[in-house]
């Protein structure tokens, strides 16, 4: 099979826009916009994906925050990192952020993080 150099470059560029995540068994690849939010679990992080699935990333949320911040993610608490694309509502009184895809997610935050979000 002959693959042209331009086809290889096109495929390589598409892969570069995806991010690689280590799992216990190998790697998975996601575009940043596919990730709705991330939740810390000690040294691991759960990624919640737009299609309703989730996966466990073999790194802590601080490491993940550094990778995702430039892709529109914001740390709303010690244990949660959200994709601002999906942020639909912030309830200041209850200190809850609502995220929406085909599903709805409600995550706790703090008053200081809400104020920081207002400036973001």
pLDDT digits (tens, 9 = 90+) for 97-117: 999 999 999 999 999 999 998
Give the whole-angstrom CA distance, residue 3 versus residue 9. 10
Per-residue pLDDT reduced to its tens digit, 7-61: 544 554 555 689 999 888 899 999 999 999 999 999 999 999 999 999 999 999 9
Rg (CA), the chain: 16
Under 8 Å between Cβ of 90 and 97: yes
Mean pLDDT rounded to a whole number for the chain: 89
The model carries a pTM of 0.83
Task: Write down the domain spans for the chain.
Answer: 20-119
Which 3 state secondary structure label does DSSP give 108? strand
Exposure of 7 by Cβ count < 10 A (0-12 exposed, 13-18 middle, 19+ buried)? exposed
Q: What is the CATH number of domain 20-119?
A: 2.40.50.1020
Give the whole-angstrom CA distance, residue 20 versus residue 28. 6
């Amino acid at each position: 099979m002959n693959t042209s150099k331009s086809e290889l470059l096109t495929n390589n560029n598409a892969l570069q826009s995806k991010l690689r995540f280590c799992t216990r068994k190998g790697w998975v690849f996601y575009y940043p916009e596919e990730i709705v939010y991330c939740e810390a679990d000690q040294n691991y992080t759960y990624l919640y994906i737009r299609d309703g699935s989730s996966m466990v990333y073999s790194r802590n949320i601080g490491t993940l925050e550094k990778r995702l911040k430039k892709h529109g993610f914001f740390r709303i608490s010690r244990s949660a990192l959200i994709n601002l694309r999906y942020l639909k509502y912030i309830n200041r009184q209850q200190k809850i952020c609502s995220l929406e895809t085909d599903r709805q997610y409600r995550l706790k935050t703090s008053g200081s993080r809400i104020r920081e979000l207002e400036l973001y």
